[in-house]
Structure 1
Amino acid sequence: MWLAVALLREHPENSVTLDSIFATGWVLMLIRVLAVVSLLCGWMPLAVPSASLGAAERLAAAVQIQTVAERPLSDQGATAFAAFHDLLRHSFPRVWALREAVPDAGYSVLYRWPGQQADLAPLILLAHMDVVPVEAATQESWRHPAFSGAIVEDAIWGRGTLDNKASVLAQLEAVDALMAAGFSPRRTILLAHGHDEEIDGRGGAAKIVEYLQARNENAWFTLDEGGAVTRDVIDSVDKPVATIMAGEKGYLSVRLRASGTGGHSSTPSQDTAIFRLANALSALEASPMPRRLIPAVGGLLDALAPEMPWPARFLINNRWLFESILLGQLEKSPTTAALLRTTMAPTLLQAGVKDNVLPNHAEAVLNFRLLPGDTVDDVLEHITTSIADEQISVSVEPGFFSEAPPLSDVDSDAMQVLREAVSTSFPEALVATGIVLATTDNRHYAPVRENGYYFAPFSYTPETATQIHGIDEHIGVQEYLRMIEFYQTLLRLAAG
């Protein structure tokens, strides 16, 4: 349907409005047309949304539109994002009217709901419309087609249901419901929805930030994806844990290039490039970046301690004395170890062209995730000092890299409001803090906010972990409705 709508936009001589499509027999004809077009273009047949359909059906319609992140954006991609905008305009006309034009932001959208008190700093809810592609080889492994938006088994199925169209639509549903109920916010509410987060956010979120900077706007807080309500994820903790993350790690890839004596492999020298590179990697493995317990991770431990067995509880509650032992225990798991330090992972190796030729050069690419407080310069200095070899060059990989944004205050007034909203919507859960190990659009907003937090109001289980960017991504209908309720609760508390 949305492809047909896009085609009508390009050919106005067909003089059929979007509203008349939904209201007349044109629907059946267009479905038949779309069925043929989908076979030719590889698009899935789409459900027909209607102004009377419920929240689950609107999310399902959004999933059916293949807003796959790509740069440069292809014609098919541009058509998909335009169709997605059409869906939002038709489904949420009140909210759509709040849009502000942001220069050069592509298909990213900024909504502004003005507050009564101009002296109060605004709050910003973040989400992104784009999704990662589905690997062709996995298409047949999905229980329901990846872009079907099928509503079966009490769930909505398809790419984007978790990451991150559910947040986009839930925020719009919440604002629309509050507007319909006559709610008038004291504080200005902004919704910032990116179109390229899965790439790097520089064409969307970064442009919105430039726009806000030009207006000298500074938000009270931003809220993006990153935390969730974890269930059956943390050993020895039976209760769900709602993690409101207070920061995210930075991202950096570094190339090491070792030089050595080449020649015939029958007479190898003691100065080969591969051995030199191997020694450098061994040196880095033996001397990781310093570990430390940052406040957001300390808050996580404090929240979990009452639910943990006595030995762990004792160490956490007395970490002023036993911190070294506690950190040593945490380092035994890759996940908890990553909360304590900037991590290093060798991801690419390249050397040689033939089995009997000694290469003159050998290269490795190392990926670092920077703990808040560590900088790119800190990492580069650590590498150079640890290797201590002038015949190995160290260079930052071009393209995407990002400093870790400053850690946000885990005791701020904004955090207390978030805690209250989470406790109201998820009374069964412990509320904790933490940091996001990956990167999000939220990092771009650091220059225009007091604090930035990360929480998507849905359940995160071991099964969920395999579905995000994977196979069988889906969200329960009731789970999605609770997301909408959470955003309504948060906006009433933060802006009421």
Structure 2
Amino acid sequence: MSVQEWESNEEIAIFREYLRIPTVQPDVDYTACVEFLRRQAGSLNLPVDVVYPALPSKPAVIIKWLGKQPELPSIVLNSHMDVVPVFPDEWTHDPFSAHMDTEGRIYARGSQDMKSVGTQYLGAIRALKASGYQPKRTVYLTYVPDEEVGGDLGMRELVKSDYFKKMNVGFSLDEGISSEDETYSVFYAERTLWYLRLKFSGTAGHGSLLLPNTAGERFNYVLNKIMEFRKSQVQRLADDSSLDIGDVTAVNLTQLRGGVQSNVVPPLLEAVFDIRIALSVDVVEFERQIRDWCQEAGGGIELDFEMKCPFVEPTKIDASNPFWLPFKMALKELGLKTRVKVFPAGTDSFFIREVGIPALGFSPINNTPVLLHNHDEYLRVDSYLHGIEVYKKLIPAVADV
């Protein structure tokens, strides 16, 4: 396709319009986004509801495509409306201009994460409806707020609502991550997320003394233990090329606080760790290990979990999940090479799986640098349009189970 053909393509125009809506965290105003999605639902002649599971400022837009057998459990095609902050000076083009260059790269925040998926669903359904197709199961397109800040006021509350329960969801698709090679990644689980604050108490006094049992000594002991464990996970990745980052436990020191003056030994130091626990690790045993290290350091250490997500069972990727084999077969029939992985970070699929609904993460993007949350995030026109073709195959595959 030429630049002129790209410019006049209806699906590309819709995608770029969506990208130009600056639903950027924090304090997102979703008004324009909701209006855009209402218009898209109207163009497809599909009913749309806007619900507010948490706050009036946090809407969830739900578009319904009625199935021929609506009594069957439904399919959810989920995406989030919000995007992460930008540093405009670091971008080659305005991050909310959806600039398209002569190579067909569309630069915009959200082009990969994940407004592309949200409008690819729409493009696929537009084509399927035009062909006369109607799904067996009802299909819901859900556009939720605040995923980029944890989803607490978005999907977490939506799945608890009476509205969601009436949707009778049997299976969900959500975002994945682009692949830099020819393969496509399919995510069936997420690691368990903890934000752990350790508070180290100890003897305070003058900085000229060698006081016993200081907060610094206790911090040093525990930090060394945690970093030794971290090193073991790095080594696992180095030793086994079949492992991805989602297969090991990630531990990172992210915040340090304490002290009042350079010559005063402080009575308290605090350290915050971002911990993503691998599926193979027993979370109860892992917490016990951390507590044991704190006792070995001499005690006086408080564990304060700023976030402590529970372990959530992975989605089954075998015949026991009736949606898995049709999903897998559809990708195979398209000739796509796939890799099944554990998602390294967090998505709204966590909350879907938490209430017992199988969910897969998938973004139909390959041979593309991973630029989510990065400067100059972009998606190529050919990748975007190919993604619509992929969903034209995937949606019937799971909706007709």
TM-score normalised over the length of structure 2: 0.87
CA distance in 2 between counterparts of 1:109 and 1:59 reads 17
CA apart distance, 1:116: 1.2
Match of 1:345 among 230, 246, 252: 252
Whole-angstrom distance in 1 between the partners of 2:367 and 2:290: 36
Instruction: Find the residue that maps to 1:339 and give its secondary structure.
Output: helix
The 5-angstrom pairing of residues 163-202 of structure 1 reads 163-202=113-152
1:154-303 to structure 2, matched below 5 A, reads 154-211=104-161, 215=165, 218-228=168-178, 230-232=179-181, 240-287=182-229
AA aligned opposite 2:36: L
Q: Which residue of 2 aligns with 1:68?
A: 24
Following TM superposition, by how much is the alpha carbon of 1:194 offset from its aligned partner in structure 2, in angstroms?
1.0
Q: Deviations over 1:247-292 (max 9, x none)?
A: 011211111111221111112213221111111111233456998x
CA contact (8 A) 1:102 1:211 kept: no
* Corresponding position: 1:432 with 2:339: yes
Matched AA of 1:390: G
Secondary structure in structure 1 of the residue aligned to 2:159: helix
**What is the deviation of 1:217?**
5.0
- What is the DSSP-based 3-state SS (H/G/I as helix, E as strand, rest coil) of the residue aligned with 2:314? coil
Q: Does the aligned pair in 1 maintain the 2:190–2:346 contact within 8 Å?
A: yes
The residue aligned with 1:129 is 81
**Does residue 114 of structure 1 match 2:50?**
no
Q: CA RMSD in A?
A: 2.7
Q: Which amino acid aligns with 1:382?
A: Q
> AA paired with 2:261?
K
Which residue, out of 368, 380, 392, partners 2:275?
Answer: 368
Q: Which residue of structure 2 aligns with residue 486 of structure 1?
A: 390
* Contact 2:247 2:279 survives alignment (8 Å): no
Tell me how far apart the structure 2 counterparts of residues 102 and 455 of structure 1 sit (CA, whole Å).
25
Residues 53 and 60 of structure 2 are in contact (CA less than 8 Å); yes or no, is this contact kept in structure 1?
A: no
Does the 8 Å contact 2:60/2:143 carry over to 1?
yes
Q: Distance in 2 between matches of 1:381 and 1:390?
A: 14
Is residue 97 of structure 2 the alignment partner of residue 148 of structure 1?
Answer: yes
Counterpart in 2 of 1:83? 32
Other structure's SS at 2:246 match: coil
What is the alpha-carbon distance in structure 1 between the residues aligned to residue 164 and residue 32 of structure 2?
30
Post-superposition shift, 1:212?
5.5
The aligned counterpart of 2:304 is: 395
CA deviation digits over 1:175-232, x for unaligned, max 9?
222223221111111111112111111222123212357635543321111244x234
What is the Cα deviation at residue 93 of structure 1? Answer: 1.4
In structure 2, distance between residues paired with 1:213 and 1:355: 57
**Which residue is equivalent to 2:364?**
457
CA contact (8 A) 2:52 2:59 kept: no
In the TM superposition, 1:21-60 aligns within 5 A as 54-60=10-16
Q: Is the 8 A contact 2:312 2:354 kept in 1?
A: no
Match of 2:350 among 432, 436, 443: 443
Which letter maps to 1:170? Q
Shift of 1:94: 4.1
Q: Which amino acid aligns with 2:60?
A: S
Amino acid at match of 2:383: E
SS in 2 for 1:90: helix
Counterparts of 1:494 and 1:481 in 2: how far apart (Å)?
21
Question: Which residue identity is paired with 1:54?
Answer: E
Distance 2:99 2:215 in 1: 54
In structure 2, the partner of 1:385 is 292
Show the counterpart of 2:3.
none
Q: CA deviation at 1:480?
A: 0.4
How many residues are aligned here? 385
Alpha-carbon distance, 1:69 to partner? 2.6
Q: For residues 427-477 of structure 1, give each alpha carbon's deviation from its aligned partner in whole angstroms, at most 9, with x where no partner exists.
A: 2x422211001000111112445411111111254xx22x21111111111
CA shift, 1:103, in A, is 4.1
Query: In the TM superposition, what whole-angstrom CA distance separates every residue of 1:85-108 from its partner, at most 9, and x where no partner exists?
Result: 222333441447422343435322
Supply the AA of the counterpart residue of 1:275.
Answer: E
Conserved? CA contact 1:89–1:96, under 8 Å: no
CA distance in 2 between partners of 1:124 and 1:289 (Å) = 39
TM-score (norm 1): 0.71
* Paired AA for residue 17 in structure 2: A
Instruction: Select the residue among 265, 287, 301 that pairs with 1:358.
Output: 265
**Distance in 1 between the 2:69 and 2:126 partners?**
21
1:103–1:211 CA contact under 8 A, matched in 2: no
Does the 8 Å CA contact 1:121/1:220 hold for their aligned counterparts? yes
Output the CA distance in 1 between the equivalents of 2:236 and 2:226.
Answer: 22
- The structure whose residues are more often strand, as a share, is 2
Quickly say closer, same or farther: Cα 1:86–1:337, change in 2 above 3 A: closer
Structure 2: give runs of 5+ residues left out of the alignment.
1-7
Separation in 1 of the partners of 2:258 and 2:244? 31
* More helix as a share of residues: 1
- The letter of the residue matching 1:359 is P
Identity %: 27
